[in-house]
Structure 1
């Protein structure tokens, strides 16, 4: 097995929305805001090469939305999925599986593109199976008012219409061992219904793709919960359970949204679970 970081693009989000009830005087120390109160956000996806399979975890925002839409998110940098894949000798047509932690636009937007004449949409990975789970899919295609702006039909429905959509079998508890894709999956409901967190065994290490359970290293303290979370009081015990296990077992936490810290390990301290070490992807992979 080999792992590759796939940088799909950077943007900015309101720091207050990213830290909920935490005062700016506190979160600004770890995630400094610009003059518009915006903080740097990455969409750092992960490619797994395992035998004949090339599994891409999340796909970022994509580039098919309007100029007005992207104007809300202050895109920066020159990353893209195609550039990242090419760096490692791959093409999007080589991808066999696309695993989506959840279907918010900044995690799955790159799964769908315009067709050639821009009259409709098509999947961006024509040879891939797309993986979600039935509970989250139903939640996304019939969105509540709180999340409606994050679940965009053009990002989601073409996967089903193409016949390439598949559902991960959900466990009775919160952990699925040895999924169809070869890794364990932790299911979390605080951010959105049945978000999936992959736990990958790699060269004697456990690498956890944290998605929005832990967006940045600055979100480690349990009360530091995003304003975007639908059930913040559920996020806290989910984080506590996962981070305690991560500290005890020296998991490597892949931070999808942290523009400045790529992978961290954590440890128990008097103040709770905190950063132990910070690594670049190259150091671990």
Structure 2
């Protein structure tokens, strides 16, 4: 098995929204904001090369939305999905599986593109299976008013219309289910219904793709919950369970949204689970 970080682009979001009830005087110590209160974020995906399979976890925003749409997110930097794949010697047509932690636009938008004459949409990975789960798919395709702006029809329905959509089967495992793709999944409901957090066994390590369960290293303390979470009182016990397991089992946590910290570890302390070490992807995945 080989793992590759795939940087699909950087953007910014309001720091207050990213930290919920936590005051700016506290969160800005770890995540400083610009003059508009916006903090740096990444859309860092992960590519798994295993045998004849190339599995891409999340796809970033993509590029099919309007200039006005992207203007809300202060895009910055030079990263792109195709450029990052090419850096590691891959092309999107070689991807066999696209695993989506959830269907918010910044996680799945890159999976769908305009068709050749821009009259409709088509999968951007023409040879891949797209993986979600039944509960989350129903949640995303019949969205509540609070999340509707994050579940964009053009990002989601073409997966099903193409015949490339598949669902991960979820069993009743207390902590982690084993997926058809060969890695474990922790299902979390606080941010959105049945977000999937992959746990990948790599050499002698467990690499966890944190998605929106832990957006940045600054979100480790339990009350540091995003204002975007639909059920923050569920996020609290989910984070507690996950971080306790991460500290006890020495997981390497791959941060999708932290623009400045790529992989971290955590440890138990008298104040609860806290940051232990920071690593670059090249330190751990080489």
What TM-score, normalized to structure 1? 0.99
Q: Equivalents in 2 of 1:149, 1:14: separation in Å?
A: 16
Q: Equivalents in 1 of 2:131, 2:61: separation in Å?
A: 17
- Structure 1 position 3 matched with structure 2 position 3: yes
Q: CA deviation at 1:174?
A: 4.7
Could you tell me whether the CA contact under 8 Å between 2:183 and 2:200 is conserved in 1? yes
Could you tell me whether the CA contact under 8 Å between 1:31 and 1:39 is conserved in 2? yes
- Structure 1 position 284 matched with structure 2 position 278: no
Work out the number of aligned pairs and report it: 285
Q: CA deviation at 1:176?
A: 4.1
Q: Equivalent residue for 2:208? A: 208
Note the residue ranges of structure 2 that are not aligned, 5 or more in a row.
none
Q: Equivalents in 2 of 1:249, 1:179: separation in Å?
A: 20
Deviations for 1:58-88, whole angstroms, at most 9, x for unmatched residues?
0000000000000000000011110011011
Deviations for 1:142-165, whole angstroms, at most 9, x for unmatched residues?
000000000000000000000000
Q: Equivalent residue for 1:256? A: 256
Q: Equivalents in 1 of 2:55, 2:136: separation in Å?
A: 20
Deviations for 1:152-194, whole angstroms, at most 9, x for unmatched residues?
0000000000000000001224544431000000000000000
Matches within 5 A, 1:22-101: 22-101=22-101
Q: Secondary structure at the match of 2:182?
A: coil
Dislocated runs of 4+, deviation >2 Å = 173-178
Q: Secondary structure at the match of 1:256?
A: coil
Could you tell me whether the CA contact under 8 Å between 1:7 and 1:81 is conserved in 2? yes
Q: Equivalents in 1 of 2:88, 2:210: separation in Å?
A: 23
Q: Equivalents in 1 of 2:223, 2:25: separation in Å?
A: 15
Note the residue ranges of structure 1 that are not aligned, 5 or more in a row.
none
Q: Equivalents in 2 of 1:237, 1:220: separation in Å?
A: 13
Query: Which is worse superposed, 177-186 or 155-164?
Result: 177-186
What TM-score, normalized to structure 2? 0.99
Q: Secondary structure at the match of 1:266?
A: strand
Q: Equivalent residue for 2:127? A: 127
Q: Equivalents in 1 of 2:91, 2:158: separation in Å?
A: 20
Deviations for 1:11-62, whole angstroms, at most 9, x for unmatched residues?
0000000000000000000000000000001000000000000000000000
